[in-house]
Amino acid sequence: MKIGNDFPITPPAINPETAPFWAATLEGKFSVGSCNACGENHWYPRTKCPFCHSHDTSLLETAGKGSIYSYTVTHKGPGAFAAAGPYVIAYVQLDEGPRVITNIVDCETDDLAIGTRVEAVFFPAGENAAVYRFRPTA
C-alpha cells in the first residue's frame, strides 16, 4: 500500500538552541550536531556534546542520506493521524553517523526493508521551519 505525504504538520517549538537547525530546513538542508572537541556527530543538534560534554559544537550540514535502521508500519494512528494511515515510523542511520527518528514517505510499504537507502525531504511547517521526513532513493 502506497504511503504518502498527507500527515498533519504542526510547527515545531523553536528555541535559540534549535533555531539554526530549523532555519536550515527552510533551505532543504538536514543538519546534525558536531563536536569540535571529540569529533563525534550527534542527533539532535544541541550546544553540548552528549559524548564528551564540551560546549564547542557546531551544526554540520549532512547529505541528508542514510539507510533504514528499523521501522514499523502503523495502520491506524491516534488523533489527527487517524486519517493518515498507513504510515511508517523509522529510525534512519545517517551516512554521517547519528540515527534519527522520522517517517518514511513516497513508497510502497511492501518495498521497505532494513537497509533501504533513503534521502531527506521537507514539508512546510509554518514560516520558521520545514518538517523533515525521508523517502527511498531511486
Domain ranges of the chain: 13-136
**How much is the average pLDDT of 116-134?**
94
**Alpha-carbon dihedral sign for residues 10, 15, 21, 23:** positive
Looking at 25-34, 35-44, 70-79, 98-107, which range is the least confident one?
70-79
Q: Say how far apart CA 65 and CA 27 lie, in whole Å.
A: 16
For 91-119, what is each residue's pLDDT tens digit?
A: 999 999 999 999 999 988 888 999 999 99
Cell representation of residue 11 = 510547527
Q: What is residue 118's three-state secondary structure? A: strand
Q: Cβ–Cβ contacts within 10 Å for residue 87, how many? A: 21
Confidence check: pLDDT of 2 > 70: no
Rounded to two decimals, the pTM is 0.90
Q: Is 28 left (phi over 0), alpha (psi -120 to 50) or beta?
A: left
Identify whether the C-beta of residue 32 lies closer than 8 Å to the C-beta of residue 61: no
Q: What are the Cα distances from residue 105, in Å, to 14, 34, 51, 135? A: 24, 27, 31, 5
DSSP conformation class of 111:
G
